[in-house]
């Protein structure tokens, strides 16, 4: 996994609440057996005017000129500004894969759905929670200034605006450590092999019917 | 120390705790389907890893499988590759799989309990958010992403932080024709789709005790639509009766020991919950969603709401967008909403009891001379598993549906998310017993109204929503 330390990038605002993972990556693209290549189909139903299917040449498809990510001023954005309960619905990890492949490194929203939030950390995306009022302010500033960019510093746990204003955010210590260092979860867990085996032996004594 | 059911399940699975509370939790069971697993198997392969305990994994293809003419295989080549990839991965890693043409194949969340693979007291995960379903068995069950699927396969564990626990207490007696699905939608209407975020929900109260295991599964299935990763119901006699003689359940001496343990899987009286929501079952009416989020729900005798009456500006914009997408006007009576398609199925409502409920409505209305209404182009019944399908056929239910004009299909997810050929066309309106009415969920531009099986069956026969309590008098 790609480590996340500090990132400065352009902000794209997605001004709607309860954006679900079906919207982030529609189901027809979940048929892929790969982990990569979902970026061109991120937000497919909002982003294009036609119906997308796997295997299409996305560069030839008609873009929806009204969809915010298609506006010239938000091209190259790497920070997604969103509203509450972002990423609700299906557990598909294809959603963070698509956002990452599109080029997003961080998301800022007042709240996230639990599974999506967790999935982001596994894929080098930092989901930042800021108070609704601060998020509101950022929506206004993004609209007001073309090229509006933010700096995210994971080690310091702050988001810094172009005006130099800093906003602190919370992140769980263990998740932060792993993201900062881009650590492989499985290799880390396997360091606990003895403890897992000891637990397993105890469990087999107590609940033998789970070990048939 | 008084403990909730969640606390007990949690405590029994702790392998290791970090100072900040991050916990390595042991996972007893994993269900696997074709959509969220290929990248996990690929990860294992790249790193030369094997499943820690292959015997704790059960796999089946459900999302992509066709519901007609299976002998001919899967026509869509991309879907076919995904299903074949699952077959190959299960073979390579030595996992049990109920492949597409196995009579036991079905939706993961239906076959787990049916096989006794889901058991009280276990931790159970699947790369699928509706894994909350299995909490109906006093189990800790929740959906995970694909990286975590790989992690559980490789280590039998998962890093988790303890959630808060919400008690949703439903007391009283449901009116006839009102079901677990209506309870679920009424709860979501009350607390919202983010109401349970950060929480596990325990459902309790006399109305929950009165539900069958099927009803409890429907309810726990929808916990995720209230934002809660896990839903659960305490174990009781119904739980234990359901477990008897299941193929993967405990037998003989082990059965006795298991039952003794299962009986402890209840919240201690007086245990503290972080949040409490109370509903009176007698007040719950059949529910119909009108929007693009399960919280956008009304009673069947209600009306489509007016966005100018929304509680705040964000909600107002949401409601306006939803009504535009749904092609509905404020103040329209729910009963005047006409339908193009009807879908009875999904991991929410495709178990035998759901099929019984729908069949009973069809039988009574057909007896009064009705058939599927002319404006309904397609009314599908898709059982949740091959075994349920066989049971329903043995009881002659398929004939009741077919004669009334329904199609009776092979088991799978089908039009719940339209990854196979069953889907809505743009602008089509559907009464569905599934769990999500998101934009495009059942097909791009499709409009979904979530209801119970009885309500869906009645809507098919009338061509618009009707109050099932009235037509079944
Ligand atoms: S029936 Fe629908 S919700 Fe359930 S597992 Fe299948 S696709 Fe998911």
Q: Which residues of A touch B321 (CB under 8 A)?
A: 16
Query: Which residue out of B8, B11, B15 would a mutagenesis test of the A interface target, given it has the greatest number of A Cβ atoms within 10 Å?
Result: B15
Instruction: Assess contact for B227 and A88: CB atoms under 8 A.
Output: yes
Ligand 1 centre from B55 Cα, in Å? 24
Q: Where are the beta strands (DSSP E) in B287-344?
A: 287-289, 297-299, 341-344
Query: What pLDDT digit, counting tens, does each position of A11-21 carry?
Result: 999 999 999 99
Query: What pLDDT digit, counting tens, does each position of A112-141 carry?
Result: 999 999 999 999 999 999 999 999 999 999
Residues in the ligand 1 pocket, defined by CB under 6 Å: B 62-63, 107, 109, 128, 130, 346-347, 413, 416-417, 434-435
Instruction: Assess contact for B64 and B86: CB atoms under 8 A.
Output: no
Residue A2 pLDDT level (bands cut at 50, 70, 90): confident
A209·B161 Cβ contact <8 A:
no
What is the distance in angstroms between the Cα of A150 and the nearest Cα belonging to chain B? 24
Of B20, B148, B317, the CB nearest to A173: B20
Q: Which residues of B touch A207 (CB under 8 A)?
A: 121, 258, 261
Tell me what ipTM this predicted complex has: 0.93
A91·B145 Cβ contact <8 A:
yes
Pick the residue whose CA is nearest to atom 6 on ligand 1. Answer: B413
Ligand 1 centre from B436 Cα, in Å? 9
Distance in angstroms between the alpha carbons of the first and the last residue of chain B: 50
Q: What count of other Cβ atoms lies within 10 Å of the Cβ of residue B137? A: 29
Segment A195-203 shows an average pLDDT of: 98
What is the distance in angstroms between the Cα of B198 and the nearest Cα belonging to chain A? 7
Nearest C-alpha neighbor of B429 from the set B443, B418, B414:
B443
Q: Which residues of B touch A199 (CB under 8 A)?
A: 15, 26
Residue A191 pLDDT level (bands cut at 50, 70, 90): very high
Beta-carbon contacts of B269 under 8 Å, excluding residues fewer than 6 positions away, are B2
B324-328 long-range CB contacts below 8 Å, 24 or more apart? B325/B292, B325/B439, B325/B447, B326/B290, B326/B291, B326/B292, B326/B429, B326/B447, B327/B427, B327/B429, B327/B447, B328/B290, B328/B304
Instruction: Assess contact for A17 and A85: CB atoms under 8 A.
Output: yes
Residue B253 region by backbone torsions, left for phi larger than 0, else alpha for psi between -120 and 50, else beta: alpha
Output the pLDDT for position A212.
84
Distances (CA, A) of B50 to B93, B158, B471: 7, 16, 56
Output the pLDDT for position B152.
98
Segment A148-155 shows an average pLDDT of: 98
Nearest C-alpha neighbor of B101 from the set B386, B323, B400, B406:
B386
B144·A115 Cβ contact <8 A:
yes
What is the distance in angstroms between the Cα of A113 and the nearest Cα belonging to chain B? 7
| Six token digits for residue B295 | 């919280």
Query: What pLDDT digit, counting tens, does each position of A54-113 carry?
Result: 999 999 999 999 999 999 999 999 999 999 999 999 999 999 999 999 999 999 999 999
Beta-carbon contacts of B222 under 8 Å, excluding residues fewer than 6 positions away, are B132, B181, B184, B185, B187, B188, B231, B294, B348, B435
Cα angle vertex B417, ends B352, B392, to 5°?
15
Instruction: Assess contact for B450 and B294: CB atoms under 8 A.
Output: yes
pTM value is: 0.94
CA–CA gap between residue A167 and residue A159 (Å, rounded) = 5
| Six token digits for residue B28 | 């007893």
If you search the block for the tokens 């159970």, which residue do you land on? Answer: B124
A41 in contact with chain B, both atoms CB, cutoff 8 A: no
What is the distance in angstroms between the Cα of B14 and the nearest Cα belonging to chain A? 8
- Cβ burial of A36 (10 Å; 0-12, 13-18, 19+) is exposed
Phi, psi of B236 (to 5 degrees): -150, -165
- Cβ burial of B170 (10 Å; 0-12, 13-18, 19+) is buried
A2 in contact with chain B, both atoms CB, cutoff 8 A: no
- Closest chain B residue to A48 measured between Cα atoms? B444
Q: Which residues of A touch B318 (CB under 8 A)?
A: 16-18
Interface of A with B in 66-105 (CB under 8 A): 83-85, 88-94, 96
B78·A55 Cβ contact <8 A:
yes
Of B24, B156, B198, the CB nearest to A114: B198
Pocket test of ligand 1: the residue of B221, B417, B440 to mutate, having most ligand atoms within 8 Å of its CB, is: B417
For chain B, residues with pLDDT lower than 70 are 473
Of B18, B127, B193, the CB nearest to A88: B193
CA–CA gap between residue B69 and residue B412 (Å, rounded) = 13
Pairing relationship of beta strands A158-160 and A126-129 according to DSSP bridges:
unpaired
Q: Report which DSSP code applies to B137.
A: G
Looking at the DSSP bridge assignments, the partners of residue B299 are B287
What is the rounded (10 degree) CA torsion for B145, B111, B468, B424? Answer: 50
Residue A174 pLDDT level (bands cut at 50, 70, 90): confident
Look at residue B205 and give its three-state secondary structure. Answer: coil
Output the pLDDT for position B421.
87
- Closest chain A residue to B78 measured between Cα atoms? A31
Interface of A with B in 193-212 (CB under 8 A): 195-196, 199-200, 203, 206-210, 212
Side-chain-side CA neighbours of A54 within 13 Å: the count stands at: 20
Atom of ligand 1 nearest to the CA of B109: 5
CA–CA gap between residue B304 and residue B325 (Å, rounded) = 13
């Amino acid at each position: 996994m790609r480590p996340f330390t500090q990132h400065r990038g352009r902000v794209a605002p997605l001004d709607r609440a309860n954006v679900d993972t079906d919207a982030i990556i529609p189901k027809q693209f979940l048929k892929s057996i790969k982990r990569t290549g979902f970026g061109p189909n991120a937000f497919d139903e909002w982003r294009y005017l036609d119906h997308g299917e796997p295997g299409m040449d996305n560069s030839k498809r008609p873009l929806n000129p009204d969809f915010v990510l298609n506006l010239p001023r938000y091209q190259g954005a790497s920070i997604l500004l969103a509203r509450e309960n972002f990423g609700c619905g299906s557990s598909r990890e294809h959603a963070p894969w698509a956002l990452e492949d599109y080029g997003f490194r961080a998301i800022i929203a007042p709240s996230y759905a639990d599974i999506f939030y967790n999935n982001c950390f596994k894929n080098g995306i930092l989901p930042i929670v800021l108070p609704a009022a601060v998020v509101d302010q950022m929506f206004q500033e993004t609209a007001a200034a073309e090229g509006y960019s933010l700096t995210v510093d994971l080690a310091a746990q702050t988001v810094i605006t172009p005006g130099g204003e800093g906003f602190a955010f919370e992140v769980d210590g263990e998740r932060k450590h792993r993201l900062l260092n881009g650590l492989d979860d499985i290799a880390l867990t396997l360091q606990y092999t003895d403890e897992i085996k000891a637990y397993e032996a105890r469990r087999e004594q107590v609940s033998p019917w789970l070990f048939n | 120390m008084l403990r909730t059911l969640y606390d007990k399940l949690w405590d029994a699975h702790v392998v290791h705790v970090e100072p900040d509370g991050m916990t390595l939790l042991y996972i007893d069971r994993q269900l696997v389907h074709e959509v969220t697993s290929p990248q996990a198997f690929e990860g294992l392969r790249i790193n030369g890893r094997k499943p820690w305990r292959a015997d704790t994994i059960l796999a089946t293809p459900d999302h992509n499988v066709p519901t007609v003419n299976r002998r001919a295989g899967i026509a869509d080549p991309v879907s076919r590759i995904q299903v074949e990839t699952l077959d190959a991965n299960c073979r390579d890693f030595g996992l049990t799989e109920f492949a597409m043409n196995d009579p036991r194949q079905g939706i993961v969340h239906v076959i787990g309990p049916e096989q006794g693979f889901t058991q009280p007291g276990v931790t159970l995960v699947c790369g699928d958010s509706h894994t909350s379903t299995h909490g109906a068995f006093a189990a800790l069950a929740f959906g995970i992403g694909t990286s975590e699927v790989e992690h559980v396969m490789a280590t039998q564990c998962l890093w988790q932080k303890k959630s808060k626990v919400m008690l949703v207490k439903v007391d009283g007696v449901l009116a006839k024709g009102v079901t677990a699905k209506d309870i679920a939608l009424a709860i979501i209407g009350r607390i919202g789709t983010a109401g349970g975020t950060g929480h596990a929900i325990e459902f309790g109260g006399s109305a929950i005790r009165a539900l069958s295991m099927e009803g409890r599964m429907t309810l726990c299935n929808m916990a995720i639509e209230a934002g809660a990763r896990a839903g659960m119901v305490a174990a009781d006699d119904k739980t234990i009766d359901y477990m008897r003689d299941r193929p993967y359940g405990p037998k003989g001496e082990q059965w006795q020991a298991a039952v003794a343990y299962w009986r402890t899987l209840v919240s201690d009286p007086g245990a503290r919950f972080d949040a409490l929501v109370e509903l009176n079952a007698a007040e719950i009416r059949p529910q119909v969603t009108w929007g693009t989020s399960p919280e956008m729900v009304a009673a069947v005798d209600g009306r489509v709401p007016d966005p100018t009456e929304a509680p705040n500006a964000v909600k107002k914009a949401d409601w306006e967008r939803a009504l535009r997408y749904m092609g509905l006007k404020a103040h329209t009576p729910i009963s005047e909403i006409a339908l193009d398609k009807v879908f009875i199925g999904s991991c929410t409502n495709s178990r035998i009891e759901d099929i019984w409920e729908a069949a009973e409505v069809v039988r009574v209305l057909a007896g009064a001379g009705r058939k599927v209404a002319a404006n309904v182009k397609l009314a599908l019944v898709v059982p949740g598993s091959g075994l349920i399908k066989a049971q329903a056929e043995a009881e002659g239910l398929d004939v009741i549906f077919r004669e009334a004009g329904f199609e009776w299909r092979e088991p799978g997810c089908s039009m719940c998310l339209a990854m196979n050929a069953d889907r809505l066309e743009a602008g089509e309106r559907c009464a569905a017993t599934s769990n999500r009415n998101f934009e495009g969920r059942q097909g791009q531009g499709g409009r979904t109204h979530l209801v119970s099986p009885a309500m869906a069956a009645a809507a098919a026969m009338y061509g618009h929503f009707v109050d099932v309590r009235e037509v079944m008098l």
